[in-house]
Structure 1
Amino acid sequence: MTVASHTREDTDVAETISALLRRARTAQRTFETFSQERVDDVVAAVAWSIIEPARSRALAELAVRDTGLGNVEDKVTKNRRKTLGTLRDLTGAPSVGVIRELPELGITEYAKPMGVVAAVCPSTNPAATPANKTMMALKGGNAVILSPSPKGASTCALLVSYLHEQLDKVGAPRDLVQYIERPSKALTYELMDRADFVVVTGSQRNVKAAYSSGTPAIGVGLGNAPVIVDHDADLADAARKIRVSKTFDYATSCSSENSVHIHDDVYEDMLAALRAEGGYLLDAAETARLREVMWPDGRLSQRVTAQSPARIAELAGLDHPEARSASFFMVAEDGVGPGHPFSGEKLSVVLAVYRWRDLDAALDRIQDLLDFQGAGHSCGIHTADGSRARLVAERLRVARVLVNQAHCIGNGGSFDNGLGFTLTMGAGTWAGNSISENLSYRHFINTTRLARVIPPREPSEQDLFEGYFQRYGR
């Protein structure tokens, strides 16, 4: 590329993003005058644009066709469930004007928009993730520019067309939600540099770029969720939930179980329960063939990412009738790290299986596994003993510990747990992230605090240092 052509390309990138930002800022200035009721109508409009059954199915079919990832029925379920749950969380939540009064402190809190949000979205969820981020960002009075993956661009375009139709109904500017029509790294990075706020779900390269852009940002950590099966677990229930989660949308979720750690006393029984749910345990030769297919050059191949079990069996030459009809595959593992690639994130219907006797030792190995891949993200445990679950939460450096749940169903929020619905899950400083909770609309607002004079509450030194002086002297 010549210097002149390189300069033209840089100019084209800058002009493309400038045009998007110009329209977004104009729309956002109008939007920030909306009342809470009108803002909530806009959020509901976004939700309906993807939940409406015909649109949801069209988006799911297009996503599978153009990305080659996952399956239509589960994407339809995901589009509805994640959006409905997020709308539930947003309904009734204050985000315009006064959002909290603290009379005892003399404080009144006011919500203010951030401005224009750059939302980078992955190919694994090319409809649900942009819709989810858009709902949260608009709840805060912001405009959104979506940056889809190249494979997900067609799905994003269809989603935005549906969304604009709904925005027209509620009298909101269409330019509140725009997208990069021909996504590229250059355009995405330019948008990150110039937006007011960046939220990235997807590759760790994009997450690092967001945090390096100089723009306030939230990124997510790499998934690689381990789940523990304790000696007193309900094995049939645990196996069913692991199967449901492991196979959902062919494991496109970063929260899908990647390894199961089974207590020695119930190891064989749990394997039998997993087989009853459609799991197939590979022998040594089959494991070697699958490993070669999944990591042909030491890096995880996209050939198996979010593919059907039948396709994976075909690629790896798994000819046993039970393998050909399996719902997911199990690989016996006893190590962690680069020499044991099945211990890492697989983004496929492949589950590493470990056995353990001592919980402390098992947690040490699980922490090593998370340090290898999946730092800070999450862990699950199936147990009847609440103290064992608390020990896991105390010991592991993770943002979430799920108890007796299907991990990918509950980790990003569920109707039967207290986690907020999201498709963007922070993994804390363990993963180089700025948050360690599920993304919510609260991450998309600035807060002004009006502080009034209140009666003074100044303590004496004795009040604060009494315990210290008693223990250590003055």
Structure 2
Amino acid sequence: MENIVDNMDALNARLAQMRDAQKIFASYTQEQVDAIFKAAAIAANQARIPLAKMAVEETGMGVVEDKVIKNHYAAEYIYNKYKDVQTCGVIEEDKSFGIKKIAEPIGVVAAVIPTTNPTSTAIFKTLISLKTRNGIIISPHPRAKRSTIAAAKVVLDAAVAAGAPKNIIGWIDVPSIEMTNTLMQEADIILATGGPGMVKSAYSSGKPALGVGAGNTPAIMDASCDIKLAVNSVIHSKTFDNGMICASEQSVIVDKSIYDAVKKEFEYRGCYFLKDDELDKVRKTIIINGSLNAKIVGQKACTIAALAGVKVPEATKILIGEVTSVDLSEEFAHEKLSPVLAMYRANNFEDAVDKASHLIADGGYGHTSSLYINIETQADKIAVFSEAMKTCRILINTPSSHGGIGDLYNFKLAPSLTLGCGSWGGNSVSENVGVKHLLNVKTVAERRENMLWFRA
């Protein structure tokens, strides 16, 4: 990896090296792959603190302690999820039916990494590629290239030391749109995490793509909910890494019978409700020329308030705007990727569901929705909510940032940092992306007499 990839010729040369390495890797046994996977995961986890510091220092976004947790999650949780999963050779066999399934790697993965979660996403994608005997080449975000590459190098060095081919992981050192587009066209599959424009480019590349859509998660607080649990779950989720996880709540929709109590709890826990003129100032700071203001992403609440010319206590956890419109003309109805939250009053549960549906249509189709409710007495409402929401993750009584990525506040929701949004979000998958999405599976079917008719 001595040569820097900063032009097309260097990129093509690196791709050729990686294809050679991947052909060798494709012959490895499950035991060899598992040893490499374990060594790489341990190395990434051991580097979680310096990588977190580097990411915050380079991007100027997020919270070091939370990025440490995300790096830990991407390494240890992903390892524990997949350590015993068969990804090489025969993965399923039924001799009585004459069926055998054989796993094969796809080839070289193009991985586009966002600026919001640079190191954790790089760890996640490189680990699942190693587990599936794929090569992977990373295109980092220009504002996060140093930390992204550092994370990839930690995984590569550990993998090679454990026996992997030396060019099995690569990256673009000086990323550009042109090189990223070329990479996506030349790779065998694309793992795309980022904004809608980048994901659209991935799906337009002519290669299979696993892209993820934008989130605009609404959280309904039903009259039956545990107010303390609901409010503090939202605060826990919305402040985590300053609100940059795409599954984080962007709005809360509160039943009118508990609205005042919910507001009081938010205030008691250190959230700030914007007054009339302050509301307009923050509106103009959230969205500029129809797009999210990049300067607020991953910043503290007090920093965002200062940008808007609003003075709030330095320890403020979340800026909350009490609004009524769920249309895109309302800036608070957008995805904000920061500790800024919209709060709506609902006349009843049907009104709350209607508002949530509109907010998802505003820019969160397929991603995540959340409901706080008494699960023992309100099963019918949960069914109505689940039926109405066009989202692939429907979370009940759960902090959505942590709940959406899986395996933290739930079981059987696969841990992932790439969350598929299905056809609603313009994606090819509607679940959390994992190792099965990076495998080709061959089915060997022996003859069995299965016909119920015959022609004489």
TM-score range (shorter-chain normalised) is over 0.9
Q: 1:296 to 1:216 in 2, by over 3 A?
A: closer
Query: For the Cα contact (< 8 Å) 1:143–1:177, is it kept in 2?
Result: yes
- SS at structure 1 position matched to 2:296: coil
Query: For the Cα contact (< 8 Å) 1:313–1:319, is it kept in 2?
Result: yes
Which is worse superposed, 311-320 or 107-116?
A: 311-320
Residue 239 of structure 2 corresponds to which residue in structure 1?
247
Residue 392 of structure 1 corresponds to which residue in structure 2?
385
Q: State the AA in 1 paired with 2:399.
A: A
Structure 1, residues 244-288: CA drift from partner, whole Å, max 9, x if none?
100000011101110001111111111111222221111111111
Residue 425 of structure 2 corresponds to which residue in structure 1?
431
Alignment equivalent of 2:342, drawn from 337, 352, 358:
352
- SS at structure 1 position matched to 2:202: helix
Q: Distance in 1 between matches of 2:430 and 2:351?
A: 25
Alignment equivalent of 1:380, drawn from 367, 370, 376:
370
- SS at structure 1 position matched to 2:229: helix
- SS at structure 2 position matched to 1:443: helix
- SS at structure 1 position matched to 2:167: helix
How far does residue 134 in structure 1 lie from its aligned partner after superposition? 1.2
- SS at structure 1 position matched to 2:294: coil
How far does residue 320 in structure 1 lie from its aligned partner after superposition? 4.5
Residue 30 of structure 1 corresponds to which residue in structure 2?
24
Residue 10 of structure 2 corresponds to which residue in structure 1?
16
- SS at structure 1 position matched to 2:267: helix
Q: State the AA in 1 paired with 2:386.
A: A
How far does residue 165 in structure 1 lie from its aligned partner after superposition? 2.5
Residue 62 of structure 2 corresponds to which residue in structure 1?
70
Structure 1, residues 75-107: CA drift from partner, whole Å, max 9, x if none?
001110232211111111110000011345321
Q: State the AA in 2 paired with 1:335.
A: S
- SS at structure 1 position matched to 2:316: coil
Q: 1:459 to 1:399 in 2, by over 3 A?
A: farther
Residue 188 of structure 1 corresponds to which residue in structure 2?
180
Which is worse superposed, 70-79 or 389-398?
A: 389-398
Residue 131 of structure 1 corresponds to which residue in structure 2?
123
Gaps of 5+ in 1: 1-11, 461-474
- SS at structure 2 position matched to 1:174: coil
Pairing of 1:20-419 with structure 2 (within 5 A): 20-52=14-46, 55-321=47-313, 324-384=314-374, 385-417=378-410, 418-419=412-413
- SS at structure 2 position matched to 1:19: helix
Q: Is residue 450 of structure 1 aligned with residue 444 of structure 2?
A: yes
- Scaled by the length of structure 2, the TM-score of the pair is 0.95
Gaps of 5+ in 2: 1-5
How far does residue 174 in structure 1 lie from its aligned partner after superposition? 2.5
Q: Distance in 2 between matches of 1:296 and 1:90?
A: 42
- Scaled by the length of structure 1, the TM-score of the pair is 0.91
> How many percent identity over aligned positions?
34
Q: State the AA in 2 paired with 1:449.
A: T
Report the structure number with the largest CA radius of gyration.
1
Q: State the AA in 2 paired with 1:421.
A: P
Query: For the Cα contact (< 8 Å) 1:85–1:415, is it kept in 2?
Result: no
Q: 1:29 to 1:391 in 2, by over 3 A?
A: same
CA RMSD of aligned residues (A): 1.6
How far does residue 21 in structure 1 lie from its aligned partner after superposition? 1.0
Q: Distance in 1 between matches of 2:97 and 2:232?
A: 50
Structure 1, residues 358-417: CA drift from partner, whole Å, max 9, x if none?
322322222121111111111011111233222211111110100111100110112341
Q: State the AA in 2 paired with 1:383.
A: I
How far does residue 457 in structure 1 lie from its aligned partner after superposition? 4.8
How far does residue 215 in structure 1 lie from its aligned partner after superposition? 0.6
Q: Distance in 2 between matches of 1:273 and 1:141?
A: 50
- Counting matched residue pairs gives 446
Query: For the Cα contact (< 8 Å) 2:126–2:152, is it kept in 1?
Result: no
- SS at structure 2 position matched to 1:152: helix
Q: Distance in 1 between matches of 2:428 and 2:453?
A: 34
